[in-house]
Structures are given as structure tokens and as C-alpha cells.
Amino acid sequence: MAGRQLDHRDVTLQAVGDYGRQLERAIEGLEIKEARWMPTPDSNHILWTLWHMGRMEDMWGWYLRGKGDSAWIQGGWAKRLGIDPERNGAGDSIELVRDFPDVSIEEVTGYWKAARELLIPSIKCVTADQLGDKRPEIWEHAPDRAPTLLWALGRIPVENGQHTGQIAYIRGLYAAKFE
């Protein structure tokens, strides 16, 4: 960063880096039984939440880029994990959470990392002149409500920071109940 003035991208990148490190600590040593444990019959489990975080990073990166490749589709992760390519976790029923495919923590973490590899350069490419831009042509489900790139840059760390906290909380509940 030497020689360059800090700007909006640095704030988002700092936040994304921070919750990413927190997430890695929160899933360190995670066992599959713990990753699939649901605190209540209607709660998400860690593995599903980790996958959803990857999907959010992948989708928001795709939005910031204005389409292009995604880890989910072009990277083959939807097929590899055996999940409908149209799913992203938003609006998933509890049955879909319960019936999450029998995949390893390493595979889901691999997807999150692949999505992140596309997200970081996407954040770096958003200039100050583009912050008010919207992409209704790719926000197909509600083009009239397409968010600005500024909103997307703020949303990524807020949403995934919350999910990181949820993962840590579920691990704490699991430890209190079973250890």
C-alpha cells in the first residue's frame, strides 16, 4: 500500500480479512459431528452456515465484477458439493439445512476459500466513481431494487461477520452441552 492513498476498498478489505481470520479460528479443529449439530430442531448448523458464507462471498464478488466467473458454477463447486446451483442459502427451509449433503468440513472450507479468492480482487476493482452504480441487469430477482456497489461493499463484512459469530456461538453451545 506504500505510495497509495487509502480508500473505501481498504476498509472493506480490512473487515473481510478480520472476519476471515476469526472464522478460521472458529472452525479450527472442528469435527463433522459438531459441524452438523443443530442447537434446536429449527437452527442452522455450522457446516451449512460456512457454505452459505462462501455463497455470499461468491455472489457479492460476482455482483461487484458485473458477472463473470464464480467459484460456485464455473469453479465446479456446486457439482462437487452436490447442491443445486441456484441455491445460496437465503430462504432455505429447515429441511434443506437438515438435508445438507454429506460433505466434509474441508470441502466446504475449500469452497469458501475459492470464493474468497475471487472476492478480494473484485473489491479492489471498485473505484470511488462506481460506488453509486447498480447492476439491475444481473439482479434478476428484483432489478428495481438492485443495490449500489457501496451497499454491497458494506454488506459483505456485516453479513459474514454475523455468520462468523453464529459459528463461534454454536461451537460454544456444543462444548457446553457435550464436553
Q: What is the pLDDT along the chain (179 residues), one digit of tens a residue?
A: 567 899 999 999 999 999 999 999 999 999 999 999 999 999 999 999 999 999 999 999 999 999 989 999 999 999 999 999 999 999 999 999 999 999 999 999 999 999 999 999 999 999 999 999 999 999 988 999 999 999 999 999 999 999 999 999 999 999 999 98
- Name the strand (E) or helix (H) holding 43: none
What cell was used for 77? 463447486
Specify the length of the chain in residues.
179
- SS3 at position 75: coil
Instruction: Count other Cβ atoms within 10 Å, centred on residue 90.
Output: 10
- The pTM score is 0.95
Q: What pLDDT is attached to residue 41?
A: 97
Q: Are 79 and 107 in contact (CB under 8 A)?
A: no
CA 125 to chain centre: 19
The CB density around residue 135, as the number of other CB atoms within 10 Å, is 18
Q: What is the pLDDT of residue 3?
A: 75
pLDDT of residue 4: 81
For the chain, domains (ranges, CATH) are 21-178 (1.20.120.450)
pLDDT for the residue 2: 65
Contact 158, 17 (CB under 8 A): no
Encode 31-69: b = buried (16+ Cβ within 10 Å), e = exposed. eeebbbbeeeeeebbbbbbbbbbbbbbbbbbbbbbeeee
| Closest by CA position to 78, among listed 44, 43, 54 | 54
